């Protein structure tokens, strides 16, 4: 197929990974032509402020963008907003958008991230029910969320707990509904999760745990959520944050190897060596943990995007970085690194202040796999070192290891 427009590098997806790849490419190749195709109509922006600083006034909307417009001009990258790529022809090295315009590439990056999972219940597609992920979702909810309004937030993981705190701080009456026994139960050990949940209750958030929505409908402009256990919750706003599905469609249609993500090797190359993947959609070998993982976090998208860019431009460096992640829930904040799962790992906490300030360690076979540093900042490298050393530990040996 003859392409309408030829490029050296084509990046599909204008999220953090895609935007960061431009920087990576330019570190190695100052001249090669770049196209960034973004389905969204906004320049690439950071998502964390959508549930945090934009609600606390610590950031203004103009401050959330990954780069200034000048950056793209100076990088001589063509940024096409509102442009969705619908197919890849790996044999002819071309991609095609919804307008049937095709673009040739020498190297291609799939930075397509993930899309919100939908509730598979009657009313899961009710008009106005917000599956919170994008800037447009923030703009919609911000407009609706006046003081004194009410909201149901479905999901007790990262997005649900952050947006619930943000709304509550802004005077909205929030009811949270989630099937797990307590907030963020996949990451927090029970005592910590329940202590955080108690803070939510103290702030006036109504917690409906161990339950799930069975039906959502709109009556006279208001949302009515019926739960499986018989609660009926009537609100002005309805938000769901129940996880994402990696966007794999393009990769699968192009015949690339996929599982719970687009499979890439240590150089972030897919099963087609001219196609790379990075960010929320990439299933990559996590060196320090010795297993394949997909990581849905900001720092990973940033660094993996850059590394993919460098490698597309010929650097061929393995991605060995250990990304961190962070969250803010009212006055409680944390940074974490490694594998932090209560589902597959034992946990042990070294508290300076019970369930508030200290470190939760995630342990398997006597070795540290991850660390969650609660209200402790700037200790990521110490945690990374403990994980990388891979030595056998005892609870005694961990006491005071990170303070």
Ligand X SMILES: Cc1cc2nc3c(=O)[nH]c(=O)nc-3n(C[C@H](O)[C@H](O)[C@H](O)COP(=O)(O)OP(=O)(O)OC[C@H]3O[C@@H](n4cnc5c(N)ncnc54)[C@H](O)[C@@H]3O)c2cc1C
Q: Which residues bind ligand X (CB under 6 A)?
A: 12-18, 37-40, 47-48, 50-51, 84-85, 111-114, 132-133, 159, 247, 250, 279-280, 296-299, 301, 325-327
Residue with tokens 């050296």: 8
Task: Supply the minimum distance, in Å, between the C-beta of residue 228 and ligand X.
Answer: 26
Rounded to the nearest angstrom, the gap between the alpha carbon of residue 202 and the centroid of all alpha carbons in its chain is 28
Q: What is the C-alpha to C-alpha distance for residues 155 and 243, in angstroms, rounded to an integer?
A: 8
User: In this complex, which beta carbon is closest to ligand X, that of residue 69 or of residue 122?
Assistant: 69
Residue with tokens 């959502």: 216
Q: Which two tokens mark 220?
A: 């006279």
Count of all residues that appear for the chain in the document: 403
Task: Supply the minimum distance, in Å, between the C-beta of residue 395 and ligand X.
Answer: 28
User: In this complex, which beta carbon is closest to ligand X, that of residue 26 or of residue 47?
Assistant: 47
User: In this complex, which beta carbon is closest to ligand X, that of residue 200 or of residue 227?
Assistant: 200
Q: Provide the phi-psi class of 192: left if phi over 0, else alpha when psi is between -120 and 50, else beta.
A: alpha
Q: DSSP letters of 160-206? A: HHHHHHHHHHTT-EEEEEESSSSTTTTTS-HHHHHHHHHHHHHTTPE
User: In this complex, which beta carbon is closest to ligand X, that of residue 152 or of residue 251?
Assistant: 251
Task: Supply the minimum distance, in Å, between the C-beta of residue 398 and ligand X.
Answer: 24
User: In this complex, which beta carbon is closest to ligand X, that of residue 107 or of residue 133?
Assistant: 133
Task: Supply the minimum distance, in Å, between the C-beta of residue 399 and ligand X.
Answer: 28
User: In this complex, which beta carbon is closest to ligand X, that of residue 245 or of residue 257?
Assistant: 245
Task: Supply the minimum distance, in Å, between the C-beta of residue 44 and ligand X.
Answer: 7
Compute φ and ψ for 11, nearest 5 degrees: -115, 125
Helices 16-28 and 298-312, packing angle to 10 deg: 40
Q: What is the C-alpha to C-alpha distance for residues 372 and 361, in angstroms, rounded to an integer?
A: 7
User: In this complex, which beta carbon is closest to ligand X, that of residue 51 or of residue 303?
Assistant: 51
> How many CB atoms lie under 10 A from the CB of residue 211?
15
Contact assessment for residue 328 and residue 301, using Cβ atoms and an 8 Å cutoff: no
> How many CB atoms lie under 10 A from the CB of residue 324?
21
Q: Which two tokens mark 52?
A: 């945090």
Task: Supply the minimum distance, in Å, between the C-beta of residue 114 and ligand X.
Answer: 5
Task: Supply the minimum distance, in Å, between the C-beta of residue 279 and ligand X.
Answer: 2
Q: What is the C-alpha to C-alpha distance for residues 362 and 348, in angstroms, rounded to an integer?
A: 7
Q: Which two tokens mark 256?
A: 């690339």
Task: Supply the minimum distance, in Å, between the C-beta of residue 19 and ligand X.
Answer: 8
User: In this complex, which beta carbon is closest to ligand X, that of residue 29 or of residue 335?
Assistant: 335
């Amino acid at each position: 197929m003859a392409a309408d427009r030829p490029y050296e590098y084509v990046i599909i997806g204008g999220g953090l990974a895609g935007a960061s790849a431009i920087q990576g490419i330019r570190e190695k190749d100052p001249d090669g032509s770049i196209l960034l195709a973004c389905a969204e109509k906004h320049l690439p922006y950071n998502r964390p402020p959508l549930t945090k600083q934009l609600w606390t006034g610590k950031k203004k909307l103009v401050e959330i963008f990954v780069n200034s417009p000048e950056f793209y001009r100076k990088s001589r990258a063509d940024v096409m907003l509102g442009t969705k790529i619908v197919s890849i022809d790996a044999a002819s090295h071309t991609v095609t958008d919804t307008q049937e315009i095709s673009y040739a590439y020498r190297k291609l990056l799939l930075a397509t991230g993930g899309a919100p999972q939908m509730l598979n219940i009657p009313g899961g597609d009710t008009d106005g029910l917000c599956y919170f992920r994008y800037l447009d979702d923030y703009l919609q909810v911000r407009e609706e969320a006046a003081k004194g309004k009410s909201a149901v937030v479905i999901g007790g993981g990262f997005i649900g707990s952050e947006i619930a705190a943000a709304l509550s701080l802004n005077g909205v009456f929030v009811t949270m509904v989630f099937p797990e026994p307590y907030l963020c139960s996949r990451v927090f050990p029970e005592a910590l999760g329940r202590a955080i949940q108690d803070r939510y209750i103290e702030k006036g958030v109504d917690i409906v745990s161990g339950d799930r929505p069975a039906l959502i409908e709109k009556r006279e402009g208001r949302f009515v959520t019926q739960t499986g256990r018989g609660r009926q919750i009537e609100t002005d706003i309805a938000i769901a944050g129940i996880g994402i599905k990696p966007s794999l469609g393009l990769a699968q249609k192009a015949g690339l190897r996929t599982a719970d993500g687009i499979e890439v090797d240590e150089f972030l190359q897919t099963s087609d060596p001219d196609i790379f993947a990075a960010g929320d959609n990439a299933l990559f070998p996590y060196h320090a943990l010795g297993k394949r993982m997909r990581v849905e976090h900001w720092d990973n998208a940033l660094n993996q995007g850059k590394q993919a860019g460098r490698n597309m431009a010929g650097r061929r460096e393995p991605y060995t970085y250990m990304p961190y992640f962070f969250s803010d829930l009212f006055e409680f904040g944390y940074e974490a690194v490694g594998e932090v799962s209560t589902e597959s790992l034992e946990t042990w906490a070294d508290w300076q202040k019970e369930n508030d300030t200290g470190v939760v360690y995630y342990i398997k076979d006597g070795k540290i796999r991850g660390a969650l540093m609660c209200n402790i900042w700037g200790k990521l490298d110490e945690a990374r070192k403990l994980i990388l050393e891979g030595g056998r530990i005892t609870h005694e040996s961990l006491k005071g290891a990170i303070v």
